[in-house]
Structure 1
Amino acid sequence: MFKRKSVLLAAVILSLLTLAVPAPASARYVSFTYKQDGQLRLTQTAYVPVGVLDGYGMFGPGSAAKEESGDLTVALDQPQDLFIDKRNHIYVADSGNGRVLELDGRGSLIRVIGEGELEEPTGIYVDESGKLYVADYGAEQVAIYDREGNKVASIGKPESLLFGKNNAFKPKKIAVDKRGNLFIVGEGLIQGLVELSPDGSFLGYFGGNRAGFDLERTIQKLFFTKKQLSQLSRKLPPSPTNVAVGDDGLIFTATVGLESGSIKKLNVAGDNLLHSSSFMSPNIADITVDPMGNIYAADSVEGYIAVYNKDGSMLFAFGGMDSGYQSLGYFTSPSGVAVNGDGLLYVLDKDRGNIQIFKPTPFALLVYKAMSLYLDGKYVESLEPWRQVLRLDSMFDLAHLGIGLAYYKQGKFDLAFEELKLAKNAGEYSNTYWELRREWLMKHVSTVILVLAGLFVLWTVLKWLHRKNGFGAPVVEALRRFRRIRLVSELLHVFRMLRHPIDGYEELATGKASVLSATILLIALAVVRLYEVYQTSFIFSGVDPLRVSMVSELLKLFVPLFAWIVCNYMVSIINDGEGKFKDVYKGSIYALSPYLVLGVPLALMSKGLTLMESVVYDYSRMFMILWCIVLFVIMVKEIHGYELKETFKNIAITLSGMAVMALIAFIFFGLTSQVWDFVRSIAEEVKYLG
């Protein structure tokens, strides 16, 4: 009876694997991705769950005596790892039961490996010859089995002094490259992966992480003595927590707790070949790589499965944590992920003790086809598949990128320019713009030179005629009268501030500017800021103007400025400053004269530059900011009548006051929000009871 049920369930599983996309699962199952600007959005469904393998479906030719008695059970207990070999055989590290299970593609048990020999297997790998490598965390060794499941060797702690006498050898995950070298994740080994030769000799550590920049530690080094620093605990880099090997022989690692670049693709020198992505989870439980180089990662906290291409760009993610309804396609604690030769994705759930099976949808297969052609440099051939992807999902950024590069290779730079702009890919957009600009210059450079030369000659002739015969005197006189208008003169004082800032502030204190002119300039500052946000090329701004809030951008300008004005005036009262509030107000706004004058030209200049000339834009903007800072320093010194030492003291206290003001505002708004939530909950309860 028990065997009959097992066969029936196995048949059900097999039928599930051959089904197309099931309507109930797809109806409530979603996938998402991230756009180039970091915005999360839903996309076409990439994978759908088609079945599940658990302890009641994993039966096969085991002990004849057990089969006859019906006692054979392979229910999983806290399984930690999953691997699928070239024959599509499934291997499961059944950690709680101290064994490894080998299953066929349908989930039927082939054999139990290492039962009674392994203590706590947490990582497994099968090479091309069928040899099984097991990271036995409990026994602190690596066990090796042949294709028939017979133990042929075991490797314990390396005896090499380079390994470290005090370093424990507690292997958790393992992978083997084409040379037969072992790469082992060891608990607490911050140096990186343990690399062993096929005979178990220690070859060194590989692919270690770096501690990264620590602001607190940097400040401590500036002010602490050597004795105090020696008493502080060192910030150590996190140790890798997972490892995989690609078909190209490159080593992939994942590190829990690494906020940026938690997945790495390492060459023989240990250099990371993946570009840093903010869309990589810091809680990767397991990774695997398919023959195309796509990377699959299981998130142990959020529960989703993310798919990246071989460059590290996220294609899509799906799944999530089960909310308690035992829903197919969701997890409680994903601990392993693997892909078979047919493209089916298997996800191991540690707490449930089962394996869920996912099938790629036509959309995912189309993306993989286009991506494969694109990454192989066959941009033109990838054009039609990318177009089909866009028909299914018109907002898929990578499709716009692929089409843009296809047009670029065909020399259709104008079409490529539009597609790459939609893709928000700054690098390729810049390269395309370079070609468009080059074409335009080749056609029009002579005309541009002639026009500029003509304007210069015309200006020179007009100046000579004006000096010789008074040509245009009425116009010149009208301009002079216009500049002598008080308000106009006050507004044009910004140019005086740029040329002679010290004299400019002295004149400011004697009434050269008014509160009205400063207020008009403040409005002009807002206009310049908005123009800069909306018109700066996205190559340099990195923001999407369609997603920019005008109010938030104005607040970013006005809040710090008015906080500075208020704090500086209050500090000057305490420190015997001579400036009045209106003087600080006017002086602070006029200190932003470089931004007023250069903000718009820099935004316009950005539209004509590529990334290769980014140094021109970056240094120009840096110069503008530094100029503003210098004017603020001169403003404090001249308006308040301070010496240089008192000036910097005043500025330091002002900045401290601004920080305190920001902290108070944060606490106030936080408490206000909590009080409002409390009042609203009481009101809703009263309304409900009423």
Structure 2
Amino acid sequence: MRYYHRRQLGIGDFKAPQDIFVADSGEIYILDSGNGRIVQLSKERELVRIIDGFVVSGQMHRFSQAKGLFVTDDGHIYIADTLNERVVHLDEHGDLVQIIGAPKSPVEGIIPDSFRYRPIRLVVDSSRRIYVVAEGQAEGILQFTPDGEFLGFFGSPRVTPSLADVIWSRLATREQRERLALFLPTEYSSIDLDERGFFFTTIAAGDIVRTEPIRRLNPSGQSVTRRLGFTDPVGDPQWIASRFCDVVARPGGLYSALDQTRGRVFTYDSSGYLLYVFGCKGKQAGAIDVPRAIEQQGSYILVVDEGTNEVKVYKPTQYATLIHTALYYYQWGNYEDSARAWEAVLHLNANYDRAYCGIGLSHLLNGRLEDALRYFRLGNDRAMYSKAYRLYRRDVVDEHLGKVLTVALVIAGMLVFAVRCGVFARLWRLIRGGYDAADKAMQQRARPLKAVWNWLKTTARGVFFALYVIIHPFDGFWCLKHEKRGSVPSALVILLMTLASFIVVRQYTGFVLNPRDLRELNIYREASGVLVPFALWCVINWALTTLVDGKGTIRDMLISSSYALTPLIIIYLPATFLSNFLVAEEGSLYYLILAVGAIWAGAMLFIGTMVTHDYSAATTLFTSVLTVAGILAAVFIGAFWLVLMDQMVAFIGDLYTEIALRL
């Protein structure tokens, strides 16, 4: 890393530098805001000239806390002269071309009465239209013609109040609404122009800063930011939110954003994948104290540090160079070399998901589908895995469909022949005879063994009776209660099978449709997610129905509720198997099957409650709603007591520590 400071350039100290721009020619322009000047350096980073003002009608004008700078291809310089509330346009010689003051519109209401024009960043497109970011303004980016005529606001972020804000605004009194914060679009803090004429912007503050702190706008002002990475391009996704103060568009659709919170630089590709991060906050070598602006010169990254009054130059490491090389080869269609570059990246960082995805993409484009699937899975890229699997599945079906149909026809013919010859009937009689013989033998054994056998037999019959219940729910639940066709052990077996079904769904759903981390399976958490709601339903429903002339006991509720879950077992397991053969576009079929199972189980639970308590449909609906409300209340109270107990334990621990230290 290198620095630009007075000892290198011989121009005195920088003072609060705010922006930097690298022209297509390679020349560097540094906005030394505190000294009111622009320092121009050559491509070799040697001093060319200093612009500390301009002449108007024979009088010298100075810059006042200017914060933004842009240079066109022909050397024209645009300065966001912040405290003077103007944009200054100079030609390639540093002479004044025009001054663009505060915007004016003939249409009333376009510009708010409270609008204050303090430009902080600006860019100029290929048509010489000027786009200005103003400090503290939420209307959007100001757009001017080449002659400085105001055209309107551009790219205003959408207002997205939360549901709670909307509800509260409806319920609040007039006085309360007057004190509520206005739902205003979020203000921009920086802007840059990429090679295709699209705008990269950063968001200064507000709700959108957490979800969309970097926006890529098309010439119409619509956000076209791609977010296909494992996390959105938001900087740090899990800790204190990053606050980006500047962004630079780089060749090939890449962009790097400067985090003001931690002094780090995040680099993303055109799809929103995070490529690498570097930098930290501080005054030591390599750190950034008060980040202000970022720019690129060739393969180097230049960062303006207001805290140390320096421009810091970062050279790419071997790791970053390999990543850029892999992306470059891919964009030019050289997929083999791209894959080799990604493999070199993996030698440096075996946990780099983007490298696996890059290798998988190279295999996909070269027709090696099985290798592509393997690398997409390693890279955790479900979207590309789905595309590769669609092609692989088509090839497999085309190759083996004839064989599969032939085998299926042979098996079907054999089954028809077996049925006509009575093979299955004889097989059933053989199995039945073996079972009767075993049952007769067990009845002659000692009493404990006989009791265990009878218990297992009764439990198994009760479990199989669930198949009758889900087809004939009214008769089935009536038999469960009055004829004792079910038992508590049978109900517990069904409940455990339901729990197992949820675990199977979590662990064995197809990769494309399963975003969970399979390594994070927690049996206790999964069990509590099924057993706790089930127990609360049984207990609270029974407690409420005792007050509404319910005829069922807690035992009846346990059995009927367990049997009502049988559709989940029957539906979820085949759906999980099927999910391994589906692509992303067919995921709706999988979720539809799961929804059918859940609705079927819900209907069974409703009918079971109605039959068990001898209720009408209306009474059952009423008690079910009360039961759900009771469950929510119980969960709230339980969470409250857990938090309270945690606070008490922490207090007692602190008290004990304090006493022990004082003694």
Q: What TM bracket, shorter-length normalisation?
A: 0.7 to 0.9
| Matches of 1:125 and 1:640, distance apart in 2 | 77
Residue 577 and residue 463 in structure 1: after superposition, are their counterparts in 2 closer, same or farther (change >3 A)? same
What number of residue pairs does the alignment pair up?
Answer: 623
Alpha-carbon offset, residue 103 of structure 1: 4.4
- Give the TM-score taking structure 1 as reference length: 0.82
Corresponding position: 1:318 with 2:285? no
Higher mean alpha-carbon deviation, 559-568 vs 195-204, is at: 559-568
Secondary structure in 2 matching 1:558: helix
Secondary structure in 2 matching 1:492: helix
Alpha-carbon offset, residue 164 of structure 1: 2.6
Higher mean alpha-carbon deviation, 680-689 vs 408-417, is at: 680-689
Corresponding position: 1:305 with 2:265? yes
The equivalent of 1:140 in structure 2 is: 85
Corresponding position: 1:354 with 2:310? yes
Residue 564 and residue 278 in structure 1: after superposition, are their counterparts in 2 closer, same or farther (change >3 A)? farther
Secondary structure in 2 matching 1:521: helix
Aligned ranges for residues 117-516 of structure 1 at < 5 Å?
Answer: 117-161=62-106, 163-166=110-113, 167-212=115-160, 214-217=162-165, 219=167, 235-256=183-204, 257=206, 258=208, 259-276=210-227, 277-281=231-235, 283-322=243-282, 326-341=283-298, 343-466=299-422, 471-475=426-430, 477=432, 485-510=457-482, 511-516=484-489
| Matches of 1:551 and 1:102, distance apart in 2 | 65
Q: Is the 8 A contact 2:495 2:565 kept in 1?
A: no
| Matches of 2:548 and 2:8, distance apart in 1 | 81
1:657 is aligned with what amino acid? G
The equivalent of 1:52 in structure 2 is: 3
Secondary structure in 2 matching 1:647: helix
| Matches of 1:92 and 1:639, distance apart in 2 | 81
Corresponding position: 1:82 with 2:29? no
Alpha-carbon offset, residue 297 of structure 1: 0.6
| Matches of 2:347 and 2:587, distance apart in 1 | 35
Secondary structure in 1 matching 2:288: coil
1:197 is aligned with what amino acid? T
Alpha-carbon offset, residue 363 of structure 1: 1.2
Cα deviation digits, residues 219-250 of structure 1 (max 9, x gap): 56998999999997653332332211012211
Corresponding position: 1:529 with 2:502? yes
RMSD after superposition: 3.3
| Matches of 2:106 and 2:631, distance apart in 1 | 55
1:149 is aligned with what amino acid? G
Cα deviation digits, residues 271-304 of structure 1 (max 9, x gap): 4333234341352111001223321111122332
Secondary structure in 1 matching 2:315: strand
Cα deviation digits, residues 166-200 of structure 1 (max 9, x gap): 34433222111122111222345444322222112
1:151 is aligned with what amino acid? L
Residue 638 and residue 76 in structure 1: after superposition, are their counterparts in 2 closer, same or farther (change >3 A)? farther
Higher mean alpha-carbon deviation, 560-569 vs 100-109, is at: 100-109
2:117 is aligned with what amino acid? F
| Matches of 1:457 and 1:479, distance apart in 2 | 29
The equivalent of 2:449 in structure 1 is: none
| Matches of 1:480 and 1:297, distance apart in 2 | 73
Alpha-carbon offset, residue 687 of structure 1: 6.5
Q: Which residue, out of 31, 50, 55, partners 1:111?
A: 50
| Matches of 2:543 and 2:280, distance apart in 1 | 53
Alpha-carbon offset, residue 539 of structure 1: 0.8
Q: Is the 8 A contact 2:155 2:217 kept in 1?
A: yes
Residue 400 and residue 671 in structure 1: after superposition, are their counterparts in 2 closer, same or farther (change >3 A)? same
The equivalent of 1:551 in structure 2 is: 524
Secondary structure in 2 matching 1:241: strand
Structure 1 gap segments, 5+ residues each: 1-49, 61-72
1:400 is aligned with what amino acid? Y
Corresponding position: 1:610 with 2:565? no
Q: Is the 8 A contact 2:470 2:564 kept in 1?
A: no
Alpha-carbon offset, residue 562 of structure 1: 2.9
The equivalent of 1:91 in structure 2 is: 29
Secondary structure in 2 matching 1:380: helix
| Matches of 1:479 and 1:150, distance apart in 2 | 106
| Matches of 2:365 and 2:609, distance apart in 1 | 57
Q: Is the 8 A contact 1:53 1:107 kept in 2?
A: no
Q: Which residue, out of 576, 592, 600, partners 1:627?
A: 600
Q: Is the 8 A contact 2:540 2:630 kept in 1?
A: yes
| Greater RCO (Cα-Cα under 8 Å, separation 6 or more) | 1
Aligned ranges for residues 593-672 of structure 1 at < 5 Å?
Answer: 593-672=566-645
| Matches of 1:200 and 1:135, distance apart in 2 | 13
Q: Is the 8 A contact 1:100 1:121 kept in 2?
A: no
Secondary structure in 2 matching 1:543: coil
Alpha-carbon offset, residue 155 of structure 1: 1.0
Q: Is the 8 A contact 1:487 1:517 kept in 2?
A: yes
Secondary structure in 2 matching 1:121: coil
| Matches of 1:550 and 1:110, distance apart in 2 | 69
| Matches of 2:529 and 2:385, distance apart in 1 | 29
| Matches of 2:600 and 2:167, distance apart in 1 | 27
The equivalent of 1:29 in structure 2 is: none
Q: Is the 8 A contact 2:541 2:627 kept in 1?
A: yes
Higher mean alpha-carbon deviation, 298-307 vs 155-164, is at: 155-164
| Matches of 1:478 and 1:192, distance apart in 2 | 83
> How high is the sequence identity, in percent, across the aligned residues?
25
| Matches of 1:643 and 1:223, distance apart in 2 | 37
Alpha-carbon offset, residue 637 of structure 1: 3.2
Secondary structure in 1 matching 2:421: helix
Alpha-carbon offset, residue 388 of structure 1: 1.4
1:557 is aligned with what amino acid? V
Structure 2 gap segments, 5+ residues each: 55-60, 236-241, 440-453
1:327 is aligned with what amino acid? Q
Alpha-carbon offset, residue 480 of structure 1: 9.6
Q: Is the 8 A contact 1:293 1:309 kept in 2?
A: yes
Q: Is the 8 A contact 1:528 1:600 kept in 2?
A: yes
| Matches of 2:498 and 2:608, distance apart in 1 | 18
| Matches of 2:385 and 2:312, distance apart in 1 | 41
| Matches of 1:226 and 1:480, distance apart in 2 | 79
| Matches of 1:187 and 1:633, distance apart in 2 | 59
2:321 is aligned with what amino acid? L
Alpha-carbon offset, residue 56 of structure 1: 5.7
Alpha-carbon offset, residue 684 of structure 1: 5.5
Alpha-carbon offset, residue 603 of structure 1: 1.1
The equivalent of 2:443 in structure 1 is: none
Q: Is the 8 A contact 1:56 1:75 kept in 2?
A: no
1:500 is aligned with what amino acid? H
2:218 is aligned with what amino acid? N
| Matches of 2:130 and 2:173, distance apart in 1 | 44
Residue 87 and residue 119 in structure 1: after superposition, are their counterparts in 2 closer, same or farther (change >3 A)? same
| Matches of 1:586 and 1:279, distance apart in 2 | 50
| Matches of 1:449 and 1:125, distance apart in 2 | 68
Q: Is the 8 A contact 1:58 1:103 kept in 2?
A: no
Residue 431 and residue 293 in structure 1: after superposition, are their counterparts in 2 closer, same or farther (change >3 A)? closer
- Give the TM-score taking structure 2 as reference length: 0.85
Secondary structure in 1 matching 2:337: coil
Q: Is the 8 A contact 2:19 2:69 kept in 1?
A: yes
1:472 is aligned with what amino acid? L
